[in-house]
Structure 1
Amino acid sequence: MSRRKRKHQDDGDKAEIDLTPMLDVVFIMLIFFIVTASFVKESTLNVNVPENSNAPPPPPSDNKTILIVVDSANDVFIDGRRVDIRSVRSLIAQKAAANPGGGVVVRAHENSNTETYIKIADASRDASVFDISLVPYKDTRR
């Protein structure tokens, strides 16, 4: 009987906890969180801006362009007047009717939103003016 008791005590000393199932659960949770994580991809608009040159401006032509200025606060100005973005299409249509063949030049501040330029470009296309140029500028007064 003493032999049996002794054998039973030796088995108790060798008992260990198996951590494999716990590690499996941790790895499954890790994979789940990696797969479900949302990654934000920022969209950008690449614009090639020409370098400043000392070349003389082109000679004036009969086709007058429509100048639209967008400042850093995304305010839109046509002929020096601040206008609402919703009225840009009708103003472009009026000016295009007076000067057919002219284009639209958007002079946008470098801190203005791309969304404002896109709204102006869409309004210009809706007014059947497809010659649209973007001229970025930096405010040097500050």
Structure 2
Amino acid sequence: MNFQRGQHRDEPEINLIPMIDVLLVILIFLMVTTTYAKFSELQINLPQAAGEPAKEKPAQINVAVDAAGNYQINDAAVNFANIASLSDALKKAAGSAAAPVIVINADAKANYQSVINVMEAAREAGLVRVTFATQRGEIR
């Protein structure tokens, strides 16, 4: 016997609104957490200053580091054994100069540790004025 003869069964419906809500939340989350790598394209106008050139040029110690990790101080090859030996070589090159500037000329493919060794040796030698030599070129 069929007692449900007059009753119709409703077909189940899939409600899409909760699914759309979840997808929108995921989309907003992804948009907020995405990092953008175009920070280098900032347009910056640097301030201008009119200053007199220095009357006395400070003494410079040129330290060259090539891609193989070899060092030269003022065009004289230095055998790197440890940071202390490099520090002693920098002290000898400084001589009696009051506050010489260390100019690091590192090859673009030089090991990062090689440059850090020069900076650490300069710190141990008490030479705090360190700068890097670069050449003008197109930024990639």
What does the per-residue CA deviation read over 1:44-96, in whole Å, with 9 as the maximum and x for residues that have no partner?
9xxxxxxxxxxxxxxxx9x8643311112343333213414623323223433
Which structure 1 segments of 5+ residues have no match?
45-60, 138-142
1:1-142 to structure 2, matched below 5 A, reads: 5-9=5-9, 11-12=10-11, 15-31=12-28, 39=35, 65-78=60-73, 79-84=76-81, 86-87=83-84, 88-96=86-94, 98-101=95-98, 102-113=100-111, 116-136=114-134
Q: 1:129 to 1:70 in 2, by over 3 A?
A: same
* TM-score of the two chains, using structure 2 as the length reference: 0.50
Note if contact 2:71-2:77 (Cα within 8 Å) is conserved in structure 1. Answer: no
Q: Which string of whole-angstrom CA distances, capped at 9 and with x for unpartnered residues, describes residues 93-112 of structure 1?
A: 3433x332343232221333
Deviation at 1:17, TM superposition (A): 0.5
Alignment root-mean-square deviation, CA: 4.0
More helix by share: 1
Query: Runs (4+) of structure 1 moved beyond 6 Å?
Result: none
8 Å Cα contact 1:66/1:103 also seen in 2 = yes
1:110–1:136 Cα contact (<8 Å) kept? no
Does the 8 A contact of 1:93 with 1:127 survive in 2? yes
CA deviation after TM superposition for structure 1 residue 16, in Å:
1.7
Distance 2:111 2:36 in 1: 19
Structure 2 unaligned blocks of 5 or more: 41-56, 136-140
**Cα distance between partner residues in 1 of 2:30 and 2:70:** 43
Q: Percentage identity across aligned positions?
A: 25
Cα distance change on mapping 1:8 and 1:40 into 2, 3 Å: closer
How far apart, in 2, do the equivalents of 1:107 and 1:17 lie? 69
